[in-house]
Amino acid sequence: MSLFWITAILLIGVLIPLLTERLGRTVNTIFTMLAPAIALAYIISLMPAVFAGEVVTEYLEWIPSIGLTLSMRLDGLALMFALLILGIGLLIILYARYYLSEKEAVGRFFSYLILFMTAMLSIVLSNNVLQMWMAWEVTSISSFLLISFWSSKSESRKGARMALTVTGAGGLALLAGLLLVSDIVGSYELSVILASGDLIREHALYPVALILILLGAFTKSAQFPFHFWLPHAMAAPTPVSAYLHSATMVKAGIFLLARMYPVLSGTEMWFLIVSMTGLITLLLGAYIALFKHDLKGLLAYSTISHLGLITLLLGLDTKLAAVAALFHIMNHAIFKASLFMAAGIIDHESGTRDMRKLGGLWHFMPYTATLAMVAAASMAGVPLLNGFLSKEMFLAETLHSSALGFISWMIPVLATLAAIFAVAYSLRFIHDVFFNGEPKDLVKTPHEPPRYMKVPIEILVALCLLIGIFPNFMIGGLLEAAASSVLMSELPYYSLSIWHGFNLPLLMSVIAIGGGLLVYAYRRHLYRFQAQFKESDEKLIFEGAIQRLVASATSAHDGLNNGSLQRYIAALLLLTIAITAIPLINLDTAATHSPDQAVSGVEITAAIILCLSAIATVIFHRKRMVALITISVVGLIVSIAFARFSAPDLALTQLSVEVVTVILLMLALYFLPQKTPSESSPARVVRDVGIAAALGGLVATINYAFITQPLDSISEFFLANSKTGGGGTNAVNVILVDFRGLDTLGEILVLGIAALGIFNLLARVRLAMPSANEHGLAWSKDRHPPILAIISQSLLPLALLVSFYIFLRGHNMPGGGFIAGLITAVALIQQYIAHGVDWVKPRLKVDYQILIALGILIATLTGIGSWFFDRPFMTTWFDYFDIPLIGEIELASALIFDLGVYLTVIGATLLILASLGKLTSSHRPTSEE
Amino acid sequence: METLYVICVGVLTFCGVFLCLRGRTFSVVVGLTMLSYAVNLFLFSSGRLNLKDAAILGMSDSYADPLPQALTLTAIVIGFAMIAFVVILAMRARADLGNDFVDGREAPDSDKFIKPNKDKI
């Protein structure tokens, strides 16, 4: 068997209760206990090895390349926690069987409980900090599910939410801290981290990592000032409170402190923060506990106080303090779990937990009362019980502390004060509940619980006594193993005996018990004093804070996101200006520029036309038809510019795209308003001109900056290999169909998708058909002038021939699939314009969607074809053939690829325009004809 | 020459951006078209302005940089597809919403001026 089986079995155990729920509560309980019992048996079987000093580690490679390994570790500390988790867990399951009523979803409850158990065990058994953190978060989530188990109650939901928020936020801090530590060490493995204490403590980031990890630990362990969530978590069913919120989950924070003790402790910062937090929590919890009328409230604050005590011990600068801390973890878990269970029984059998109503229960349930009294005495630190032993060790250690320098004497004094309150509230728990008069206004008559409900308490109380009387025999070995894995060095001398002679700690214990009796006797005065303070409800404060946060987030969101696209674009552009302008300011203007080339009059003229028509487009943009004409002039000049600057392919492409675009926009304009009303406020115009001018200036500057630099291009390769490797002399085309063929494939795919998208957008569109222009002038009835029809019809074969020629020569001369496709498309669109859709449709029986698919298929298959020759995807092949009469010609597989491009371009262009054009005829009102 | 070229690119960018910031779909479409001219010219110029030699092997001794040309070529075609899509989207928006505002509703500062004439044309 392996340690991984423990978590695996428990994970299976999560499902068991759900499956066996229908078999009845008792059978369900037995099956539920199966998985934890097996895990516990296995852990116990490993005890001798761990006691012998062995650290059981196991690894399971997951993603080794990035250092992610599932890894488990069982050392003394993990063993102690595992025993507590599984042992108390089993008792809790038994207890819950009687606590929950028949009507409740017991299966779900058990399932959550086992889930929590799995997570908690994974924390303590983890040898990888990320893995540990994951489990840590799962405990927060399962705790949330368990607190809100009675989800119909508002306080359950609120308490659960609060617990999740606080521990979840702490969990995030913990993650950051653990990542920092792992970064310092260079490994996520706990065994590596534990061995690099000095490295971490001397690192500059140590304080940050320490505080982050402590935040995680303190939120989980309900340390001041994060303690407020724990009392509200008491809205959970009592088995949950007993298990998660006193015995185990809240100890996860303590576990973390103990786990990281060898690495993080030993510095001034650690001692100061940890001991002070612990001390404040200890005092505050003990004091408030006295005033809680709710039994579980008292126990909750007592738990906070004891968690503070353990934290304080871990923050004291003696080795023995750490041993005492571990000892108290065990003792507290044992007596507090039994007290919670007793409180649950009282609640269950009498219907209330309010100590003002309870009283004199001794007469109704003497047996339970005895058990509860023993446990409460242990909590108070009465001799012969386990609580006494660890508390005395604690008091002794506070005497040796020098964490506060010259005022360190305050620590034992304050510790004694806390102990006085602890005695007082324990006394209150016993006296107010079991004696002190008669119960008032109870809904039912209290009685003893079912036999087996008491078994878990009996076992725990027996442990209290046994550990209290025979400490060395009971837990000596376990404590030693745990302590050595925390201290990772020679253990200090300590003796686990009841009697250490008359010494100062004993005196402090006596003072505590005497003082506690006095405080309890005069509690009325304290209550009156405390009643002067306004009681604040953390729940309201917390919910208020959350609501304020949500409100401010909502208003911030609404302020930014008001639905105005113009605003978003403006914001985006301003950001662009900011991030491009700043580097330009820092740019060295003296960088070498090559001189400008000479400018001829033609170029100046073209530039002036370009700029004027661009500006005219802006000026006349509200008269849409005019804007369309001026922008087509711009497009024309751009294609001339391409031709001028030695890019014939681009010029041809731009020209044909220009034609298609203008036709498209004209078609669209038919359906859209012909004019844009003037609606921008002057301020808006100024703003937009400012943004546009700044961006235009920046773009021009950047453009100038790089085109005047010497050219250092990777294109030498393409030029050198175009003929020999790609078989073509037109390097541009060879790049498109060969070197970067995959890019081209992607691009025709995009083209096809865009066309299909448009087809679908137009499929069910209902557009108003304008019957006249904006001046009320009806459209011409002569829709297809015969001259245009005849000319375009006779031009068609010529255009197709040209496009075919351009397609074929593309590999060696300007041309290729893109250009040829566009020319063909333009020629066909001309037929649509001249004759109308109804005329073309029966004559050109081509489904453009299929054409697009065919084109992409051909291109892809050409690429795949090279696989059959054991070549990578898209390897081209070419050869030269001598054909009689025609002469030598070159055949290249790239030509087939280009055919795919050609077909896709035709299909896409025609699909777009024909779909749009069809609207003009199919929906046209008949009255107009 | 270079100065003249970048001025043209700058002017095109200016006009394109200004039009993109208008509140009606058609202006934005025209703006995008303009902007794509500017972008294509910008990209193309990364191969420098070469007046003499196209990248056809064997036609001259030195060649213009073919790579930016190839990239710009596909950019032109894709740009067309994009503009077509936006145009159709604009039409669809008008059909579904009854106006041609880019926000799909009345522009924030439109009420001071002319109320949009919905589907009266």
CB < 8 Å from A in window 39-68 of B = 40-42, 44-59, 63-67
Chain B residues touching residue A689 (CB < 8 angstroms): 18
Whether the predicted pLDDT of A568 surpasses 90: no
Query: Does A566 sit within 8 Å of B17, measured CB to CB?
Result: no
A788-824 pLDDT per residue, tens:
888 888 889 999 999 989 888 888 888 888 899 999 9
Whether the predicted pLDDT of A879 surpasses 80: no
Average confidence (pLDDT) over A470-476: 88
Query: Does B83 sit within 8 Å of A707, measured CB to CB?
Result: no
Chain B residues touching residue A749 (CB < 8 angstroms): none
Cα–Cα distance for residue pair A193/A488, rounded to 1 Å: 13
Range with the poorest average pLDDT among A24-38, A426-440, A486-500, A693-707: A486-500
Question: For residue A496, what pLDDT is reported?
Answer: 79
Whether the predicted pLDDT of A874 surpasses 80: no
Whether the predicted pLDDT of B109 surpasses 50: no
Q: What are phi and psi of A874, to 5 degrees?
A: 70, 30
Query: Does A618 sit within 8 Å of B94, measured CB to CB?
Result: no
Cα–Cα distance for residue pair A738/A863, rounded to 1 Å: 10
CB–CB contacts below 8 A, A to B: 329
Query: Does A758 sit within 8 Å of B88, measured CB to CB?
Result: yes
**DSSP symbol at A672:** S
Query: Does B69 sit within 8 Å of A647, measured CB to CB?
Result: yes
Q: What residues does A126 pair with on adjacent strands? A: A72
Q: Can you give the CATH number for the domain in which B63 is found? A: 1.10.287
Structure tokens at B107: 């522009």
Q: What are phi and psi of A595, to 5 degrees?
A: -65, 155
For residue B120, is it within any domain? no
DSSP string, A76-127: HHHHHHHHHHHHHHHHHHHHHHHHS-TTS-HHHHHHHHHHHHHHHHHHHHBS
User: Sorting pLDDT into bands at 50, 70 and 90, what band is A772?
Assistant: low
B58-99 pLDDT per residue, tens:
777 778 888 889 999 989 988 999 999 999 888 888 888 778
Whether the predicted pLDDT of B111 surpasses 60: no
Question: For residue B118, what pLDDT is reported?
Answer: 43
What type of residue sits at position A111? Answer: S
Cα–Cα distance for residue pair A471/A475, rounded to 1 Å: 6
For residue B50, is it within any domain? yes
Quote the ipTM score.
0.87
Q: Which helix (H) or strand (E) is A891 found in, with range?
A: strand A887-892
Question: For residue A735, what pLDDT is reported?
Answer: 86
Gap from A786 CA to chain B (nearest CA, Å): 29
Taking a C-beta distance cutoff of 8 angstroms, is the pair A412, A395 a contact? yes
Q: What are phi and psi of A774, to 5 degrees?
A: -70, -15
Cα–Cα distance for residue pair A658/B37, rounded to 1 Å: 11
Structure tokens at B88: 């159709």
A200-253 pLDDT per residue, tens:
999 999 999 999 999 999 999 999 889 999 999 998 999 999 998 888 899 999
Question: For residue A138, what pLDDT is reported?
Answer: 94
Angle between helices A129-147 and A249-259 (to 10 degrees): 160
What is chain A's percent helix, strand, coil content, to nearest 5? 75, 5, 20
User: Sorting pLDDT into bands at 50, 70 and 90, what band is A774?
Assistant: low
Give how far the C-alpha of residue A21 lies from the chain's centroid of Cα atoms, to the nearest Å. 34
- The number of beta carbons lying within 10 Å of the beta carbon of residue A31 is 17
A384-431 pLDDT per residue, tens:
899 999 998 999 888 887 777 788 888 899 999 999 999 999 999 999
Question: For residue A583, what pLDDT is reported?
Answer: 85
Angle between helices A3-19 and A25-51 (to 10 degrees): 170
Who among A747, A751, A765 is closest to B91 (CB)? A765
For residue B119, is it within any domain? no
Query: Does B56 sit within 8 Å of A650, measured CB to CB?
Result: no
Average confidence (pLDDT) over A471-475: 87
User: Sorting pLDDT into bands at 50, 70 and 90, what band is A176?
Assistant: very high
Whether the predicted pLDDT of A591 surpasses 80: no
Chosen for mutation from A618, A688, A897 (greatest number of chain B CBs closer than 10 Å) is A618
Give how far the C-alpha of residue A490 lies from the chain's centroid of Cα atoms, to the nearest Å. 42
Whether the predicted pLDDT of A926 surpasses 70: no
Question: With the C-alpha atoms ordered A631, A633, A635, A641, is the resulting torsion angle positive or negative?
Answer: negative
Which of A526, A392, A371 has the alpha carbon at shortest distance from A449? Answer: A371
Question: For residue A331, what pLDDT is reported?
Answer: 93
Average confidence (pLDDT) over A519-523: 89
Question: For residue A341, what pLDDT is reported?
Answer: 94
**DSSP symbol at A890:** E
Instruction: Work out the burial of residue A674: count CB atoms within 10 Å of its CB; fewer than 13 is exposed, 13-18 middle, 19 or more buried.
Output: middle
Give how far the C-alpha of residue A833 lies from the chain's centroid of Cα atoms, to the nearest Å. 55
Cα–Cα distance for residue pair B121/B119, rounded to 1 Å: 6
Question: For residue A361, what pLDDT is reported?
Answer: 87
Q: What percent of chain A has pLDDT over 70?
A: 96
For residue B108, is it within any domain? yes
Angle (CA) A173-A177-A179 rounded to 5° is 115
Nearest CA in chain B to A604: B4
Give how far the C-alpha of residue A364 lies from the chain's centroid of Cα atoms, to the nearest Å. 53
Question: For residue A925, what pLDDT is reported?
Answer: 44
Who among A573, A596, A622 is closest to B17 (CB)? A573
Cα–Cα distance for residue pair A378/A397, rounded to 1 Å: 19
Question: For residue A773, what pLDDT is reported?
Answer: 66
Cα–Cα distance for residue pair A851/A856, rounded to 1 Å: 9
Question: For residue B112, what pLDDT is reported?
Answer: 40
Q: How many residues in chain A?
A: 929
Greatest mean pLDDT range, A566-575, A814-823, A879-888, B30-39: B30-39
Whether the predicted pLDDT of A727 surpasses 90: no
Cα–Cα distance for residue pair B117/A676, rounded to 1 Å: 10
Gap from A574 CA to chain B (nearest CA, Å): 11
Taking a C-beta distance cutoff of 8 angstroms, is the pair A262, A199 a contact? no
A228: helix, strand or coil: coil
Question: For residue A86, what pLDDT is reported?
Answer: 94
Question: For residue A923, what pLDDT is reported?
Answer: 47
User: Sorting pLDDT into bands at 50, 70 and 90, what band is A771?
Assistant: low
Average model confidence (pLDDT) across chain A: 88
Which residues lie below 8 Å from residue A164, measured CB to CB, with a gap of 6+?
A: A140, A141, A143, A144
Cα–Cα distance for residue pair A298/A296, rounded to 1 Å: 5
Cα–Cα distance for residue pair A592/A710, rounded to 1 Å: 9
Cα–Cα distance for residue pair A255/A310, rounded to 1 Å: 10
Which of A422, A424, A430 has the alpha carbon at shortest distance from A391? Answer: A422
Cα-only R_g, chain A = 41
For residue B59, is it within any domain? yes
Taking a C-beta distance cutoff of 8 angstroms, is the pair B64, B45 a contact? no
Average confidence (pLDDT) over A141-166: 92
Question: For residue A2, what pLDDT is reported?
Answer: 83
A824-854 pLDDT per residue, tens:
999 998 888 888 888 888 888 888 999 999 9
Which of A669, A661, A614, A632 has the alpha carbon at shortest distance from B25? Answer: A669
Taking a C-beta distance cutoff of 8 angstroms, is the pair A645, B44 a contact? yes
Q: What residues does A71 pair with on adjacent strands? A: A59
What type of residue sits at position A700? Answer: A
Which residues lie below 8 Å from residue A735, measured CB to CB, with a gap of 6+?
A: A718, A722, B66, B67, B70
Gap from B43 CA to chain A (nearest CA, Å): 9
CA distances from A271 to A266, A278, A318, A674 (A): 7, 10, 10, 78
Whether the predicted pLDDT of A135 surpasses 70: yes
| Total count of domains within chain B | 1
A676-718 pLDDT per residue, tens:
887 778 888 999 999 999 999 999 988 988 888 887 778 888 8
A622-677 pLDDT per residue, tens:
888 899 999 999 999 999 999 988 888 899 999 999 999 998 998 888 888 878 88
Whether the predicted pLDDT of A888 surpasses 70: no
Gap from B102 CA to chain A (nearest CA, Å): 7
Q: Is B35 on the interface with A (CB under 8 A)?
A: no
Whether the predicted pLDDT of A870 surpasses 80: no
Q: What residues does B56 pair with on adjacent strands? A: A730
Question: For residue A38, what pLDDT is reported?
Answer: 94
Q: What residues does A892 pair with on adjacent strands? A: A878
For residue B58, is it within any domain? yes
Question: For residue A301, what pLDDT is reported?
Answer: 94
**B94: domain range?**
2-114
Cα-only R_g, chain B = 20
Cα–Cα distance for residue pair A353/A610, rounded to 1 Å: 87
Who among B34, B45, B77 is closest to A751 (CB)? B77
- The number of beta carbons lying within 10 Å of the beta carbon of residue A710 is 8
Query: Does B74 sit within 8 Å of A818, measured CB to CB?
Result: yes
Structure tokens at B82: 């994009």
Who among B14, B17, B113 is closest to A679 (CB)? B113
Taking a C-beta distance cutoff of 8 angstroms, is the pair A126, A285 a contact? no
Give how far the C-alpha of residue A246 lies from the chain's centroid of Cα atoms, to the nearest Å. 29
CA torsion, ordered A876, A877, A880, A885, to nearest 10 deg: -80
- The number of beta carbons lying within 10 Å of the beta carbon of residue A162 is 24
Which residues lie below 8 Å from residue A716, measured CB to CB, with a gap of 6+?
A: none
Instruction: Work out the burial of residue A879: count CB atoms within 10 Å of its CB; fewer than 13 is exposed, 13-18 middle, 19 or more buried.
Output: exposed
Question: For residue A886, what pLDDT is reported?
Answer: 63
Taking a C-beta distance cutoff of 8 angstroms, is the pair A284, A440 a contact? no
Whether the predicted pLDDT of B116 surpasses 60: no
Chain A residues touching residue B121 (CB < 8 angstroms): 673-674, 768, 770, 774
For residue B15, is it within any domain? yes
Chain B residues touching residue A905 (CB < 8 angstroms): 77
**DSSP symbol at A496:** -
DSSP string, A709-745: SPP--THHHHHHHHHHHHS-SBHHHHIIIIITHHHHH
Who among A674, A743, A908 is closest to B81 (CB)? A908
- Which region, left, alpha or beta, applies to residue A91 given φ > 0 means left and ψ of -120 to 50 means alpha? alpha
For residue B121, is it within any domain? no
Whether the predicted pLDDT of A769 surpasses 70: no
